[in-house]
Chain A
């Protein structure tokens, strides 16, 4: 049922090594004679001291060589279209092809952001309607589509807290943002970027936010709390009403990290649970491709009270036409140029339109069903332990610990991850959340049928068996990927670090 796989091994040279003088992959259109005649010698158009003296050391290749090089590289890259990609909190679900096709229409790709409003009514309508849909899904009042990614959404959310307390004249006192110890790393990083001190609150024995610790942490210095619900253990924070009460009573705001929104679409809304600010990871929840790291999009929804702080411009509708509104005196300003990652947002529009209210709800339900199926099946293997509350259901993801496996066999969560690659499935997120030792964080999403989940479980089982019978197989893994286990220490060591081809050349020269 699950077989070892073999990834392509091209040993592809770095593109600079493929260069041969005089080759060209693309020829720029010749300038018309009349233009040249009118303007004269191009050399006279630049000031002498600013002319580039020698060519940039770019490689020279023909078109077909460029295509072959990058195609070979692509064959050495695992992707969600090949199979399960169960990175916890990353929500690697299927990216519908129709959404890509629509995003490549010239009526979008060739659109300039500063065009006259009369010429961009179609795209403004899409953005306006999408922001209304996201407000409905999250239970918020108004949504900004501007942030380029979830982390930028968090930064914006923290800036909105800042603006809120500033307007109330309490910013100088409210300097602390509370973050649970199970939070995504972006939470404390975003809070710090927005000028707050981070206060960490531990989880309780069930894996939820420790209410007593929260009560102790909340003071007149509290600006707010950043929370993921369901949290990174996949557990729903049942005490959310109390949490919201504690934070609000202390004068703080409640921030919802949307990384785990997929589990609750159409079931329960962050706004209804008392969250004031919500960010959404479009590239997770709404099925847009992650592109090997980005681009994503990180819209932010807020309550009515906070609407005035959203970045400019806002897309507004006057009943007939759509406009870009820059007149918002309390706005925090801008977090990037223009309006957001529109190419990504259009795909989300197509995704929501395709699934509809019923489809989104079903997606959430199946993602939770799949995660709980994995909880049961992986627990049955007997080698991996489910920390915290073993009885309560998980939501979209679950976290297992390989601590016992490590003690018994010397095989770590990292080794398990690497060996899974040999079976042609991607590894879970390892060593996160940090509150679980030897953590393996698994999020299947709704996109995989039972057969594919069983394949993953079988791979997990085989790795556990190997760990006991032939641990060296697991410790040496991976063997079937494009390269064997990489030396990551060497990669980051100041003496051996190579961050560009230029650095590589310099090191080579120095060695000779």
Chain B
């Protein structure tokens, strides 16, 4: 203040009109010590019950997976955690190389050529994908499966409505849940910018008609977008192998905790044509060399697509993304490697199918409702018993059941969506089976 020749800080706020100055103290708590803050927040968090105290069988867009200890130790390194977007590449090589490695790992996993360094989540990635295919094709319609996560669909609507893009739902085969190709053939036209499918689907079954859908889309000059749960790709065919032009998905299962649903990690990958690359949303990191050509290095590329250069003509407004979550996923994929990822996929398959077998033995209960192969998630129909009733009785037994989908999909009756991963022990599973036996048994008595 001496240097500035002022007596009071208020002299620095003389330009704020008097009538707007806040004349009172903000109505907030007063300053607290670190130990008070810790005690207060820990006591609030202690009111939550998590999968540490009860088995939880929820998935539906956010999934419980084991996060190896190495990941926490890397992403909490202050050099990575407290850095900004790497605008000055020479002093930010660590983060840039990491993001390049993340992009490269995602490409290997999905079978695509190019990936960006993250979007917010799967839902907003779908919104961005829809806008991108519209820019590429000049068409304003996207066809999506009727069996889609309702929040993902709601987000898609939010993203496309202002751009005048229409989303049309395509029905499913009643017995399998798979996309009804006949309906698709009827709906697809020269107005269609893209066809979108999910694998595994929202209700856990595997969409086996990828190649057929790709052909139908491409025959009509439309693009093919596939949404994935990436942990399935150790055992499932990558979308790049069945004709996908764009692959999106939720990267949270790759080494990120659930955190009550956020932050998540939007995966976005595409084929390598320049036309596609120029329309990519979000940041992309590339490999280059020093100006003298002596060393390898990394920097953000194609920034002319982005808002800080292109402003209102940018491919997206995204600025902050989910870089540190992408770092976690890169570390995760490096730790597991190809064999680990396959083992993980097989473990999830075995455990989830074990639960379906055991539950199928319970009278009055049908799982899954579709005659299809499932991965990680599956539907459980409770017949005459209401899902929310089953849920309450399970909770009384300290077991948290799956998501109630009876409102979202009334046509499936009293049905829940259950999720079983490698993080569920056999003991967790047995507790669920026993609890459901009791709950269903009570009905008869």
A12 and B92 CA atoms in complex are apart in Å by: 14
Interface extent on A, as a size class?
35 or more
Report the Cα distance A264→B76, complex, angstroms. 31
Which of A66-74, A300-308, A403-411, A462-470 makes up part of the contact surface? A66-74
Among the listed B100, B162, B339, B350, which residue makes an inter-chain contact with A162, where contact means beta carbons less than 8 Å apart?
B162
Q: Are A61 and B334 in contact (CB under 8 A)?
A: yes
Q: Is A87 on the interface with B (CB-CB < 8 A)?
A: yes
Contact between B337 and A61, CB atoms less than 8 A apart: yes
Q: Which residues on the B side are within 8 Å of A119 (C-beta)?
A: 48-50, 395, 400
* B321 close to A (CB within 8 Å): yes
Which one of B19, B120, B291, B357 lies within 8 Å of A39 (CB-CB)?
B357
Q: Tell me, rounded to whole Å, the shortest Cβ–Cβ distance linking A328 to chain B.
A: 12
Indicate whether A74 sits within 8 Å of B94 (C-beta atoms), given known contacts A162-B162, A292-B83: yes
From A51, A118, A155, A481, contact of B235 by CB (8 A): A51
- Does B227 have its Cβ within 8 Å of any Cβ on chain A? no
Task: Name A484's contact: one of B56, B290, B343 (CB within 8 Å).
Answer: B290
CB distance from B259 to the nearest CB of A (A): 4
Asked if A444 is at the interface (CB within 8 A of a chain B CB), the reply is: no
Known pairs A61-B334, A194-B162, A483-B295; A46 contacts B340 (CB<8 A): no
> Could you list 22 A-B pairs, sorted by A, with CB under 8 Å?
A55-B339, A69-B334, A74-B94, A90-B84, A90-B85, A102-B41, A102-B45, A107-B45, A189-B317, A193-B159, A293-B86, A294-B324, A295-B321, A337-B62, A342-B259, A353-B37, A417-B88, A486-B288, A487-B288, A494-B274, A498-B288, A500-B100
B50 and A111 contacting across the interface, CB-CB below 8 Å: yes
Chain B residues with CB below 8 A from A426, complex form: 84, 88, 91
Contact of B238 among A56, A71, A126, A344 (CB under 8 A): A56
Contact yes or no, B336 A58, CB < 8 A: yes
Q: Which residues of B contact A500 (CB under 8 A)?
A: 100, 103-104, 107, 113-115
User: Could you say which of A212-220, A247-255, A357-365 contacts chain B?
Assistant: A357-365
The answer to the question of B175 belonging to the interface, with a C-beta cut-off of 8 Å to chain A, is no
Q: Which of B52, B99, B114, B241 contacts A106 (CB 8 A)?
A: B52
Asked if B28 contacts A137 (CB within 8 A), the reply is yes
Pick from A49, A108, A185, A488: contact of B314, CB under 8 Å: A185
CB within 8 Å of A: which of B394-413?
395, 400, 403
Stretch in contact with the other chain, from B148-156, B188-196, B435-443: B148-156
| Chain B contacts for A136, CB-based, 8 A | 26-28
In whole Å, how far is B283's beta carbon from the nearest beta carbon of chain A? Answer: 7
CB-CB under 8 A for A123 and B45, given A25-B335, A353-B40, A502-B113: yes
Q: Which residue of chain B has its CB nearest to the CB of A149?
A: B320
A497 touching B260 in the complex, CB below 8 Å, given contacts A291-B324, A350-B37: no
B389 within 8 A of A: no
Chain A residues lying within 8 Å of B290, measured Cβ to Cβ, are: 483-487
Q: Is the Cβ of A341 less than 8 Å from the Cβ of B262?
A: yes
Find out whether the CB atom of B323 lies under 8 angstroms from the CB atom of A292.
Answer: yes
Q: Are the CB atoms of A109 and B258 closer together than 8 Å?
A: yes
Does B140 make an interface contact (CB < 8 A)?
Answer: no
Once A185-B314, A334-B154 are accepted as A-B contacts, the answer to whether A148 and B272 lie under 8 Å apart by CB is no
Q: Are B38 and A98 in contact (CB under 8 A)?
A: yes
Please name all residues of chain A whose beta carbon is closer than 8 Å to the beta carbon of B26 when the two chains form the complex.
136-137, 265-266, 357, 360-361
Quick check: A498 and B287 within 8 Å, CB to CB? yes
A381 an interface residue at 8 Å Cβ cutoff? no
A259–B422 Cα distance when bound, in Å, is: 42
Given contacts A39-B357, A52-B237, A56-B234, contact A77 B79 (CB under 8 A): yes
